[in-house]
Structure 1
Amino acid sequence: MDANSPEAGTERDGVRMWLVERTYSDDEQNMVILTYATPDGDRYFRKERALTSFSDIRDTTAAVDAAPSNVGTVDDPDDRERYAAEAARMANAHDPDDVI
């Protein structure tokens, strides 16, 4: 298996997740919520990031390897389908470490 393939990474190493959604929090100013999902759309990982200043540079990559203990299950079938489609698009268009 290629290290860049969507399935790369084991449960021990982490679960390969692809960026599927970037939203801005309505509740808190300057909060970005990044949602990553598995290529099948069944599991997700959320990362919240505070934007404290313009000089606060933290890259957002096309994929992350999330600890299995931090991964949730996508219950909504529509979300699962949408996440799977976007994860596949990202995996086909980008290397995991590409900055998005």
Structure 2
Amino acid sequence: MSDGSTRLWLVERTYDDKGLISLVYATTDGEAVRRIERAPIAVERSGGVTAAVEAERDALAPVEEASLRERYAAEAERMAENHDPEETV
């Protein structure tokens, strides 16, 4: 990890009506997220969805809603405790 990046953990995965996969990765405190949309074929070709990703801090979005921050923090902590960052989930 570089000095300007941080590790984020998968906290949410949803599918839209067009079949796109929306992934939300969050910091363990739930304060910031990175949202990624991917086509299923892209996920398959890349080997799947990993438990964690690294992102530059300036590319993260803040989580405004307190209840969502709490939920994301709890899920990120659970993922960090139960999975290796590179593990496919």
Give the one of 51, 56, 78 matched to 1:89: 78
Q: CA–CA distance in 2 between the matches of 1:20 and 1:39? A: 10
Q: What TM-score comes out, normalization by structure 1 length? A: 0.79
Cα drift, residue 52 of structure 1: 4.2
Match of 2:13 in 1: 22
Alpha-carbon displacement from aligned partner over 1:48-89 (angstroms, at most 9, x marks no partner): 001248xx4322100000122321000000100000000000
* Aligned pairs (5 A) from 1:47-66: 47-52=36-41, 56-58=44-46, 59-66=48-55
Q: CA–CA distance in 1 between the matches of 2:80 and 2:3? A: 19
Structure with the higher helix share, 1 or 2: 2
Match of 1:43 in 2: 32
Question: Tell me, what secondary structure is at the counterpart of 1:34?
Answer: strand
Q: What TM-score comes out, normalization by structure 2 length? A: 0.88
The letter for the 2-side match of 1:34 is L
Alpha-carbon displacement from aligned partner over 1:18-77 (angstroms, at most 9, x marks no partner): 000001124xx1100000000000000011001248xx4322100000122321000000
85-94 or 60-69, larger mean C-alpha shift: 60-69
- Give the fraction of aligned pairs with identical amino acids, expressed as a percent: 45
> Where does the alignment leave 5 or more consecutive residues of structure 2 unmatched?
none
Question: Between Structure 1 and Structure 2, how many residues are aligned?
Answer: 88
Q: CA–CA distance in 2 between the matches of 1:68 and 1:11? A: 9
> Where does the alignment leave 5 or more consecutive residues of structure 1 unmatched?
1-8
CA contact (8 A) 1:11 1:68 kept: no
Q: CA–CA distance in 2 between the matches of 1:93 and 1:81? A: 18
